[in-house]
Amino acid sequence: MILCDAASPGQLISAVSRGTMSPTDCGRMEAVFSAAFFICFLVTGSVHGDSLTILQAPDFVSFQKGDWPISGENIPDLVALTMGFSVKEDLSWPGLQAGPLFSRPRANVLLVVRGVNNLNLPKSVASYPLENPVPFTLDSVAETVHSLFNEDTPVVLQLAPSEERLYMLGKANAVFEDLPVTLQQIRARLSQDGSVLTSLPLNSLSRNAEADLLFLSEVQVLHDITALLQKHKHLAKDHSPDIYSLELSGLEELSRLYGPDSPQYRDATAILATVLQKFGEEVYGLYGKSAVVEVVTVKTFEAPLTRKSRSILESRQISNPGSPYNLAYKYNYEYAVVFNIVLWLMIALALALVVIAYNLWNMDPGYDSIIYRMTNQKIRMD
């Protein structure tokens, strides 16, 4: 902006001292330039990029305040490090400091909000700019938790209501079995008792519009998750850490339908900020102030995320006895190694068995000890 590059009020005073401008004109120009500087500050201060916000974190997980950017592809590694797990490549990011060796959060909750660059979350711990917003999942973290704490059956919940994508593992199958996951189930839940429609200030949002109902359905899912956790408080007292990953795209649909300057989008943004703040505080309290809650806000991902998954309502046949939702077993990267060891060992044993059987069948007792030659008639006569 041209006004931002103009002379400062101090330079105007210097001009008066040189006699090039009268005091009256100087006062007017100083007021004009002060207003111009204020407008430039508002314009530049209101522009936000995609961000990572740490909503809640225990004292032993130290996040430093600063403007250090983090890449979207490094979010899973960041979550793993906050849980005390090792990663394949070192994360050279100064925002997270090393914590106590024997302290681990009991849960990590990652909320991905699509369709907005930044949310007003004043009670957050820290906020960082997000660069290279590529799609990501917490599959690697979930597999690490499942492999290390398999006997304790930790809670692993990954949910995207708009895409009806659900993955549950461990105790989540029992705790969240009543959680509505399809859009039809969630919309039916909105008309039941305890719906968020009775407590939210909808303002310009409509209960009949498709995009509005999608946004309200996601808010209802957040409410139901905290309600179910309230009923199962014992989950926060076990020794296995829990992983929650929720992707919300209701704001993206509202922005596409009404526009980012519409009253529907502004009201939904304010509602979601309030709901996320409350959701983070409730989860943080349920886990005894030993949970990390992150919020990733991204206007749009740079590339679509394609992920092969099976429907939880596709078949009644249970292929995995540990999961009542007909989910496939998690792939283990050591599967190929174990498979080759077992395959070639069985082939070698089979060949050895054939060779041994062939030699026993064609054995000549004449060249063996007297034990095998006792059937000889001549020796028995002697």
β-bridge mates for residue 244, sequence order: 109, 157
- Cβ within 8 Å of residue 142, ≥6 positions away: 156, 158, 167, 169, 243, 330
Report d(CA 345, CA 352) in Å as an integer. 10
Report d(CA 189, CA 207) in Å as an integer. 13
Helix (H) or strand (E) holding 165: strand 165-169
DSSP per-residue letters across 82-122: HTT---SS----TTEE---TT---SEEEEEEEES-S----T
As to burial, measured by CB atoms within 10 angstroms (0-12 exposed, 13-18 middle, 19+ buried), residue 216 is buried
pLDDT in tens, 62-106: 899 989 999 989 999 999 999 988 888 888 899 998 778 778 899
Give the three-state DSSP class for 78. Answer: helix
Report d(CA 110, CA 88) in Å as an integer. 21
- 315 band by pLDDT with thresholds 50, 70 and 90: very low
For residue 375, pLDDT over 60 is answered with no
What is the sign, positive or negative, of the torsion defined by CA atoms of 236, 238, 239, 245?
negative
pLDDT in tens, 192-219: 888 888 888 888 898 888 889 889 989 9
As to burial, measured by CB atoms within 10 angstroms (0-12 exposed, 13-18 middle, 19+ buried), residue 114 is buried
**pLDDT at residue 54 in the model:** 94
- 372 band by pLDDT with thresholds 50, 70 and 90: low
As to burial, measured by CB atoms within 10 angstroms (0-12 exposed, 13-18 middle, 19+ buried), residue 367 is exposed
- Residue 159 is given by DSSP the state E
The stretch 28-33 carries a mean pLDDT of: 49
Q: And the tokens for 285?
A: 């309290």
Q: What is the pTM of this model?
A: 0.66
**pLDDT at residue 379 in the model:** 52
Report d(CA 28, CA 32) in Å as an integer. 6
Q: And the tokens for 166?
A: 């659900």
As to burial, measured by CB atoms within 10 angstroms (0-12 exposed, 13-18 middle, 19+ buried), residue 291 is buried
pLDDT in tens, 151-180: 777 888 888 877 777 888 877 878 888 888
pLDDT in tens, 214-244: 899 899 999 999 998 998 888 777 888 999 9
Helix (H) or strand (E) holding 296: strand 291-298
Report d(CA 359, CA 224) in Å as an integer. 71
**pLDDT at residue 134 in the model:** 85
Whether the Cβ atoms of residue 313 and residue 129 lie closer than 8 Å to each other: no
